[in-house]
C-alpha cells in the first residue's frame, strides 16, 4: 500500500532513472525503448508500468532483477509505487 505522503516522480525522471539500469542489465536482449505509464491497480493504488522494448527473447530473472533495481532507486527518491514491466518487441518507443 502506498503511503499518502509519497512522492510521485514525473515520467522524464523515471526514464532517467530506469534507462541506464535497463540498458546495463538487459543489454543482451537488445533493449531499445521504454514507455512509462502511470496506472491504478486492482486495489486502487497507483503503480508504474514500464513498457520495455526488446529485440531478442529475454529471461524472467533478468527482467525481475532490472525491475527490482529500478524500484530501489525510486524508493531512494521516495516514490513508493510498485513497478511492473510489460516486455514488448518491435519498434522502439523511447
Q: Is residue 70 part of a domain?
A: yes
Tell me: the pLDDT tens digits for 1-56?
555 567 999 999 999 999 999 999 999 999 999 999 999 999 999 999 999 999 99
Q: Is residue 48 part of a domain?
A: yes
Tell me: the pLDDT tens digits for 48-87?
999 999 999 899 999 999 999 999 999 999 999 999 999 8
Under 8 Å CB-to-CB from 88, ≥6 apart: which residues? 33, 51, 52, 53, 54
3-state DSSP helix/strand/coil percent for the chain, to nearest 5? 35, 30, 35
Q: Is residue 5 part of a domain?
A: no
Tell me which residue range forms the domain holding 32.
11-88
Q: Is residue 44 part of a domain?
A: yes
DSSP 42-87: TTS-EEEEEEEEESS---HHHHHHHHHHHHHHHHHTT---EEEEEE
Alpha-carbon radius of gyration of the chain = 13
Q: Is residue 83 part of a domain?
A: yes
Q: What pLDDT shows up at residue 94?
A: 43
Contact of 81 with 48, CB cutoff 8 Å = yes
Tally the domains of the chain: 1
Amino acid at each position: 500500500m502506498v503511503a499518502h505522503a509519497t512522492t510521485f516522480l514525473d515520467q522524464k525522471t523515471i526514464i532517467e532513472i530506469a534507462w541506464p539500469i535497463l540498458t546495463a542489465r538487459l543489454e543482451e536482449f537488445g533493449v531499445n525503448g521504454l514507455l512509462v505509464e502511470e496506472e491504478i491497480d486492482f486495489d486502487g493504488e497507483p503503480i508504474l508500468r514500464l513498457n520495455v522494448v526488446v529485440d531478442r527473447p529475454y529471461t524472467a530473472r533478468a527482467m525481475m532483477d532490472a525491475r527490482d533495481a529500478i524500484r530501489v532507486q525510486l524508493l531512494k527518491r521516495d516514490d513508493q509505487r510498485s513497478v511492473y514491466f510489460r516486455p514488448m518487441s518491435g519498434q522502439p518507443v523511447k
